[in-house]
A and B are shown apart, each in its own frame.
Chain A
């Protein structure tokens, strides 16, 4: 494949491409080693850590606390799944059942809820620290992008979890939110420049129907328990690993 197009050359020359694929195809012993050890999925343990990566003088530990809270969410979430059924007939009843009849159910549910709230809070503080210490600047700009992606995934986790109790608050909150999604340009049926009807737009894709019903509840549940957490974990692996590679940025 020698005839490389201008587009392909532009992609390979871009900063994003070079951040993801840092070592080319060059067939030398050194480069072959570099290819393997600069990929978290092929070599999770860094071969060596730069000295300054260990020189931690102080830390807010906001990233660490966020990760701890994520683990709390995974654990409590797994326990909640023992009693929760994502159907309109059962969801609300199961939530009440967990609260009032399952031993330790109320504290379990509240831990899941409050850890979720705290997680957003610690993420904001974490980003504030990164911003104040200038840690988003090169060579850490790639990790900043990964971090912002993790923020979006966390917000989406909060959003999808909102519907699951299936009470008045969740129902109307998701009604409002998905109607805003339906007002997006081009892809939402109520948005500007849109040719779609309410059965073929982005809102329908999210809800699995033209109104919030059993399909919507199930879709939100699947996103909440599998798709988003697994995606988040993959990005987290890259995120932590890059921190080890790039080192903790120097204090103010």
Chain B
């Protein structure tokens, strides 16, 4: 028998051990992938706020609209002729703050962070102002908010972080 030929027993051994190791090895990424479902039954990332005239651009100063907080976790804020969407998620550890209109302050119930009406942090452990979400006019001329696109305070003047009324 030739020495360097692959013998049947060695071949079957490699085949058997190889398929065993491949199965065990593949089971790990397969299990991890299994835990990431393809479809999620979560709230859609975009929602429509309304027509630009609905938000009454005649009044001056700063105003916080709470109408979309309950369902989408977003405050729409109008500051002068600027409109932006504040993400109702504390920048400390992600609880939902409450808005106290009489004080003009957002307060987080979990660890006591506080923010001004424009989202600026001034008390508690929150490390940065409340994040803002992408706000734009969609093809039907409606004000739309996309909760998947986040702007931190450095990007507040970027296009998409606010809307000029």
B 80-115 contacts with A by CB, 8 A: 93-95, 109-110
Q: Tell me if B35 and A176 are in contact (CB < 8 A).
A: no
Closest to A206 in B: B35
Q: Please, which residues of chain B bring their CB within 8 A of the CB of A172?
A: 95, 109-110
Q: Tell me if A205 and B36 are in contact (CB < 8 A).
A: yes
CA distance A210 to B40 in the complex (A): 9
B141 CB within 8 Å of chain A: no
Q: Please, which residues of chain A bring their CB within 8 A of the CB of B42?
A: 209-211, 213
B30 CB within 8 Å of chain A: no
Q: Tell me if B40 and A175 are in contact (CB < 8 A).
A: no
Q: Tell me if B36 and A200 are in contact (CB < 8 A).
A: yes
Closest to B32 in A: A205
Q: Please, which residues of chain A bring their CB within 8 A of the CB of B95?
A: 172, 175-176
The distance from the CB of B143 to the nearest CB of chain A, in whole angstroms, is: 24
Number of A-B contacts (CB under 8 A): 31
Q: Interface residues of A, CB < 8 Å — how many?
A: 16
A204 CB within 8 Å of chain B: yes
Given contacts A209-B42, A210-B42, A213-B42, contact A176 B36 (CB under 8 A): no
Q: Please, which residues of chain A bring their CB within 8 A of the CB of B36?
A: 199-200, 204-205
CA distance A210 to B95 in the complex (A): 14
Closest to A178 in B: B94
B37 CB within 8 Å of chain A: yes
A 23-77 contacts with B by CB, 8 A: none
Chain A residues within 8 Å of B, Cβ to Cβ? 172, 175-176, 179-180, 199-200, 204-205, 208-211, 213-215
Chain B residues within 8 Å of A, Cβ to Cβ? 32, 35-37, 40-42, 93-95, 109-110
Some 10 contacts from A to B, beta carbons below 8 A apart, are A175-B95, A176-B93, A176-B95, A204-B36, A208-B35, A209-B40, A210-B42, A213-B42, A214-B41, A215-B37
Q: 7 tightest A-B contacts by CB?
A: A179-B94, A176-B93, A179-B93, A175-B94, A205-B35, A172-B95, A209-B40
